[in-house]
Chain A
Amino acid sequence: MKEKLVIVGNGMAPGRALEKLLETAPDRFDIVIFNAEPRVNYDRIMLSPVLSGEKTYDDIVIHGDAWYIENGITLYKGCKVERIDRVNKTVHSINGISERYDRLVIATGSVPFIIPVPGKDLAGVVTYRDLDDVNTMMIAARAKGRAVIIGGGLLGLEAAAGLNEQGMDVTVVHVMPTLMERQLDPAAGYLLGQSMQARGVKVLTSANTKQILGDKRVSGVELADGTIIPADLVVMAVGIRPNMALAKEAGLAVNRGIVVDAQMRTSDPSIYALGECVEVAGQCFGLVAPLYDMANVLAAQLAGETSTSFTPVATATRLKVTGINLYSAGDFGEGDDREEIVLRDAAAGVYKRVVLRDDKIIGTVLYGETGDGPWFYDMLKRNVDTREMRDTLIFGQNYQGGAPLDPTAAVAALPDEAEICGCNGVCKSKITGAIAGKGLSSLDDVRAHTKASASCGSCTGLVEKLLLLTLGDAYNPSAVQPMCKCTDLGHDDVRRLIVAKGLRSIPQLMQELEWKTSCGCAKCRPALNYYLLANWPGEYEDDGQSRFINERVHANIQKDGTYSVVPRMWGGLTSSTELRAIADVVDKFAIPTLKVTGGQRIDMLGVKKEDLPAVWADLNAAGMVSGAAYGKALRTVKTCVGSEWCRFGTQDSTGLGVRIEKFMWGSWTPAKVKMAVSGCPRNCAEATCKDVGIICVDSGYDIHFAGAAGLDIKGTELLCHANTDDEALEIVVALVQLYREQGRYLERIYKWAKRVGIDSIKAKVVDDIDKRRSYYDRFVFSQRFAQIDPWQERVNGKDAHEFAAMAEFGIPQAAE
């Protein structure tokens, strides 16, 4: 029988230990995990980009639900362990679940330190530790009020930058004279303070918090000198304490943390502990690199390989605030036995300092330009004698041996064991080995296979150079296609930055993202207009001048400059009244061609532009609205007659088609969206070549998507089965909303699905009901501002200048 391994805690350290254990001894244990948080293992280091809006929770999940299932691991979510019974070798959770163990791992992490001042328990005072804290802050940030961050360390500053990006008015209160004094020397701390102020974050140093003011809810922070800072949100980020309550109560040896030896063993031989909750040789740890070292040691122990042991090494630190580059490692205090080399370039905002003892690097602080950080850090760890390169050391690796080398030479010179990715502890040889061994050719490949650069991304440049070094010309680093010649950014980058930087207009976006042209071009402007519209529904004002003529005047331009007009016919249904009105319009305006379209609509071709408002007025009067035949938008939902009339029909396909179309009309999408609903698998509505197609069956509805019948011909993929029409509608809406949020402008659904992967789409709109609901809700919200008939608006006078000449002159008049 397998031994039973129970793990209390599901953070990054036990997650890494499990990965290693499953690699080396996959069948040794039955594994059970208790997680006090109601979720899977995610990358806590990346909470700051989530807070600033640059990433979402999905982006930072390390092990999804499928991972636990594949590896046969039982994960209890939202299940906090309250007691360990060491005599009977069992653990007991607050919700009554108990498990027996042969070996137990305690990985309870840390708790934020709350400074004991009056007001610390008021509503609106939060800590910064987990996703729940981030969600609380993001909700608070929606009101765009004032935030005070107590603590100017790594976490406090990342919280400050994130809340600032979210539009809050942020003040950092720090008790020490300079920021991040544990990782930075005063000079770099000062530069950092300047950078934070420059982005609008106020920084108060040597500031002692006396109390937090407020009645029930926080209203401000009072400092020891009497200063009062108004606040709607207070974030305490002064530090962490090992969370050892459970271990202490179980009678294990504890000190500042749970005491373990270099093999991660506690005072009970069946029980191990690792992570932020432990103390090894008198030291506690809060950065990820040593925690991952512990994970490797623990995994080896559990696999029966007992010779490895944990030795703390100097750790490098980076601040994950977009646009601020700083890197520090090791010991940089001053002392008689130390020498230092300093380079300052005030104009460029660069500060570099290397601290030496006996000609060996013991610490480094880099600000503004951090590319040489890993090089210095590697020499620090390897105790390299720097006497030979003393004169040029501070200029970095490129300057060793005279002239600057080509960029890949620097990484080529790094030893195999040099650490490239600090977040995930990936060394150079592991990356180059994976590139060569697994035939990797892109950054995303390397991220997927080695995790290098998959977390904070600050080593991305190094990883790209390794790709170039290993693959030579076969590596194409500019695999990201720029949107157009106006920018080097790709569509995905622009969409990400719109959220991250809170960009709300085209001029602001072009300024912030350094567009190379004064006002874009016919390629980027429509895309930007769509992205902004999709991102800020109700807030962003549509820019008609950035729309293609068809979407600007809500009709399709023809080769002779006339327009075609297609009214909506819900689900392809029409009536004698509508047909009569159409016939009358055709006669009244002498419209030359009347045609039935492939999407079950009627098209009036050859309408003069100045006639459009009058044509629409007559169609509106008969109850018809714009059919959006001109738009990157929901076009048509084609249906068959279904169970209403057809002897084979299994469901009311016409009714469902009408319902979907009435629900979704008016929405803008990256490219046109055509749908169909067929009442039985005979598929008379040809649903299986549409962007979204539904095939009714006896038991409900098969939802298909990602078909094409234009430039490319492609059958749809089956997304899922829905039992009811309500469920089918919700899934289709969520699917389209996901596409609206992820699709690149002009990228049809089938191309989007190919790019992001059908599984990732299923995971979001089929498997995870909560997520599906949130996409659905966002679509519904955006529809509040989208379901306005553009024809009616123009009949009522909107954009009148579009439909009339500015002036008219006959020859006689001009020649007089």
Chain B
Amino acid sequence: MSATDQWIEIGRLEQIPRRGARCVKTASGPIAVFRTMEDQVFALEDRCAHKGGPLSQGIVHGAQVTCPLHNWVYSLETGEAQGADEGRVPSIPLKLVDGRIFMFARAMLVAAE
């Protein structure tokens, strides 16, 4: 197993507000890490497929986020745009262990290519 298969700890659950998001900066660009009302965590590339808006700044509702620029709504689970809008943002696997959040390291690299 190479190092890039590892999960990298990015922080703790309570660092993200419920129904909110934080950014993780990577060399390839920011990744938005979301926490839902029910304490599920999801990560999407922080770039709306429409005009590049920062999804981490949007309103989180259920397992969805609404982009702050033009109100596109994305599923946090799949990164698919909802409703009439068509588009997708890459989602990044996360693991939550005892309140610690781990991000799939290779995802950061893939994003960097």
Contact = CB atoms under 8 A, between A and B. Distances in A.
Interface of A: 517-522, 525-526, 544-550, 553, 557, 559-561, 801, 805-811, 814-816
B51 to A, nearest CB: 7
Contacts of A544: 17
B61 interface: yes
A519 B52 CA distance: 26
B37 A807 contact: no
Contact of A546 (B22, B59, B71, B109): B59
Given A522-B61, A548-B59, 14 more contacts: A517-B62, A518-B37, A519-B62, A520-B61, A526-B59, A547-B59, A549-B68, A557-B54, A557-B68, A560-B52, A808-B24, A808-B25, A811-B26, A811-B108
Given A557-B68, A814-B109, A805 B22 contact: yes
Interface of B: 3-4, 8, 10-11, 15-20, 22-28, 30, 33, 37-38, 51-54, 57-62, 64, 66, 68-69, 71, 73, 105, 108-109, 112
A522 B58 contact: yes
Contact of B10 (A519, A526, A806, A816): A806
30 contacts: A518-B38, A518-B62, A519-B37, A520-B61, A521-B59, A522-B61, A545-B20, A546-B59, A547-B59, A549-B68, A557-B54, A557-B69, A561-B57, A805-B23, A805-B25, A806-B11, A806-B16, A806-B23, A806-B24, A807-B11, A808-B24, A808-B25, A809-B8, A809-B24, A809-B108, A811-B109, A814-B8, A814-B108, A814-B109, A815-B4
B27 A811 contact: yes
B25 A809 contact: yes
A806 B33 contact: yes
B99 to A, nearest CB: 14
Contacts of A522: 58-59, 61, 66, 71, 73
A517 B17 contact: no
A651 B89 CA distance: 58
Nearest to A812: B27
B24 to A, nearest CB: 5
B24 A801 contact: no
Contact of B17 (A518, A557, A560, A801): A801
Nearest to A557: B68
Given A557-B68, A801-B15, A814-B108, A807 B20 contact: no
A560 B53 CA distance: 7
Given A561-B53, A806-B22, A808-B25, A519 B61 contact: yes
Contacts of B71: 522
Contacts of A517: 61-62
B73 to A, nearest CB: 7
A546 B20 CA distance: 9
A295 to B, nearest CB: 54
Contacts of A806: 10-11, 15-16, 22-24, 33
Contacts of B109: 811, 814-815
Given A519-B19, A545-B60, A811 B25 contact: no
The 8 A-B residue pairs with the shortest CB-CB distance in the complex, in nearest-first order: A522-B66, A806-B22, A522-B59, A811-B27, A545-B19, A549-B57, A808-B25, A561-B54
Contacts of B23: 805-806
Nearest to B64: A521
A553 B11 CA distance: 22
A153 B17 CA distance: 50
Given A545-B20, A549-B57, A814 B15 contact: no
Contacts of B18: 545
Given A519-B37, A545-B18, A525 B59 contact: yes
A591 to B, nearest CB: 19
B83 to A, nearest CB: 10
Contacts of A814: 4, 8, 26-27, 105, 108-109
Contacts of B16: 801, 806
A810 B108 CA distance: 9
A666 B112 CA distance: 44
A494 B20 CA distance: 25
A816 B8 CA distance: 12
B61 A810 contact: no
B95 to A, nearest CB: 15
Contacts of B62: 517-519, 521
A679 B61 CA distance: 48
Contacts of B20: 545
Of the listed residues A546, A805, A806, A808, the one surrounded by the most CB atoms of chain B closer than 10 A to its CB is: A806
A529 to B, nearest CB: 10
Contacts of B8: 809, 814
A66 B75 CA distance: 56
B111 to A, nearest CB: 10
A760 to B, nearest CB: 33
Nearest to B36: A519
Contacts of B17: 544-545, 801
Nearest to B107: A814
Contacts of A809: 8, 24-27, 108
